[in-house]
């Protein structure tokens, strides 16, 4: 079933590129909607394990689910991770464009 999750810290195409590249092997239909705030990430979820994996991977990249507890230092660390993930996505996208 296709499910959509509202995610924080996704700002641009670089962020979206990172999310897609990290999740496309397990979720080939992954989509990142940059038109709305908070951003929406959609994918076909076949099990609770799929959902847990998707949300954990997003969080590890610095893009937590909107309902995650982001109190204190953890919220700041996740925002920092998202900047790094964004930069990696932009660099990867430029490399792919040149090939």
Domain that holds residue 64: 2-98
Does pTM top 0.85 for this prediction? no
Let me know: does 26 contact 51? Beta carbons within 8 Å: no
Window from 2-6, 10-14, 19-23, 89-93 with minimum mean pLDDT: 89-93
Range 45-57 average pLDDT: 96
Total domains in the chain come to 1
Look at residue 94 and tell me whether its pLDDT is greater than 80.
no
Look at residue 12 and tell me whether its pLDDT is greater than 70.
yes
């Amino acid at each position: 079933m296709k499910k959509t999750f509202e995610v924080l810290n996704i700002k641009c195409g670089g962020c979206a590129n990172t999310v897609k590249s990290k999740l496309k092997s397990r979720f080939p239909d992954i989509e990142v909607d940059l038109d709305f705030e908070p951003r929406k990430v959609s994918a076909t979820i076949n099990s609770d394990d799929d959902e847990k994996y998707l949300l954990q991977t997003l969080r590890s990249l610095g893009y937590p689910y909107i309902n995650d507890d982001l109190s204190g230092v953890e919220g700041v660390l996740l925002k920092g991770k998202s900047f790094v993930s964004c930069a990696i996505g932009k660099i990867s996208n430029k490399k792919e464009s040149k090939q």
